[in-house]
Structure 1
């Protein structure tokens, strides 16, 4: 099951609905009972922190200590 966001063209309401992915594009009804709805594009955000480049790691088979 996935959560999708829809907007009603009749009343302008935005609402979410949990449904199987196979039904993502199937018609749905808004909470006010209107059937003229459209699925919205939802961008997801993945947590984490932004920062500089990853720390440099040693190379080679032993972390760079034996390679010159």
Structure 2
């Protein structure tokens, strides 16, 4: 079950809730009972197994705007 982070706009406390993805957009009251909360955008990194070395992807070549194909 995913964990979602929230911040209370009244007391400025940050808290987390574990809830099903189907309830991700549902309102969440802070632990102090305030209802004016906002869901925070959280990021996380997925990595390989602990013993596996990181392998960088090859750099793209040509084409696309960032590769110089369409920018003047």
Taking structure 2 as the reference length, what is the TM-score of the superposition? 0.64
Structure 1 or 2, whichever has the larger Rg, is 1
1:6 counterpart = 2:14:
no
Structure 1 residue runs of 4+, over 3 Å off? Answer: 47-54
Q: Which residue of 2 aligns with 1:31?
A: 31
Q: For structure 1, which runs of at least 5 residues remain unmatched after alignment?
A: 55-68
Higher strand share: 1
1:18 counterpart = 2:18:
yes
CA distance in 2, matches of 1:25, 1:53: 35
**Partner SS for 1:4:** strand
Q: Assess, with a 3 A threshold, how the Cα gap between structure 1 residues 52 and 45 changes in structure 2: closer, same or farther.
A: closer
Count of matched residue pairs: 54
Q: For structure 2, which runs of at least 5 residues remain unmatched after alignment?
A: 59-72
